[in-house]
Amino acid sequence: MATCYRHPNRETGVSCSNCGRPICPDCMTPTPVGMRCPECSQQKTQVKTLRSMAVEPIATYILLAINVAVFFGAASSPQALSDMLLFGPAVADGEYWRLISSGFLHEQIFHLIMNLLALYWLGRMIEPALGHARFVAIYLVSLLTGSLGVMLLDPTSFTLGASGAVYGLLGAAIVMARNRNIGLMQSGLLPILALNLGITFLIPNISIGGHLGGLAGGLLVTFVIEELSRRRRNSLPLAIGFSVVVGVAAVVGAVALASSPVL
């Protein structure tokens, strides 16, 4: 595997979208046309084709397609929709799949479109830097920690939507920008987070637990993944292993909360 041109002891599978030099996480700068090295990120000339991206955001496109397919599939089967919703008493009865199926479920087209736009924007921003496996791991862990948040704050409500996973990706983008000395205000990430949190708390019938749980999961897992990438040459197995541990812990915690006598 290639090594970073500035840090020869660090392996990386990502190259600058402009000059092609291998770059490690510390040297990656997100741009609208992919990851660039510190020198090229300061240039005003931009490559304007998607093919210039270091890593095509294939996982993002697959997740978008899955969400769309599940939406139309559930729309044609009210029973399937009911069986996929996140609902604490059902989880307590052993329907554990609801902890993840609900994260791909949308009842209204507007809800679907808003989540897909956010997923598309965030996925194209961060998947090229993370790689496919790490990106999917963060998405799924955020989805599961979002379900944990629902079981913690509002387990008897019917909950659905990819918002928890999307909040996790927003948290991932914030961690990555901070690690690369990209201004959180200038990049718009903090204002977007503040706006969305305001909507979460001020508008009724929005899952506070799902949003906060997903955000917390994304922040935690991305921080650890980035630290592992910085300190180890081949950190992918450890990154995936840690993500699995957090995901399993979220499932166990959600099931325990759903089965609590309080319900």
Q: What amino acid positions are annotated as catalytic residues?
A: 163, 211
Q: Which of 171, 183, 129, 123 is nearest to 146 (CA)?
A: 171
User: Which residues on neighbouring strands pair with residue 11, listed in sequence order?
Assistant: 3
54 half-sphere exposure, CB direction, 13 A CA radius: 31
User: Which residues on neighbouring strands pair with residue 29, listed in sequence order?
Assistant: 36
The Cα angle at residue 253 between residues 248 and 255, in degrees rounded to 5: 95
- Those residues with Cβ within 8 angstroms of residue 170's Cβ, 6 or more apart along the chain or in another chain: 118, 122, 189, 192, 193, 196, 215, 218
Provide the Cα torsion 123, 129, 131, 132; round to 10°.
0
- Those residues with Cβ within 8 angstroms of residue 57's Cβ, 6 or more apart along the chain or in another chain: 123, 124, 127, 128, 135
User: Which residues on neighbouring strands pair with residue 3, listed in sequence order?
Assistant: 11
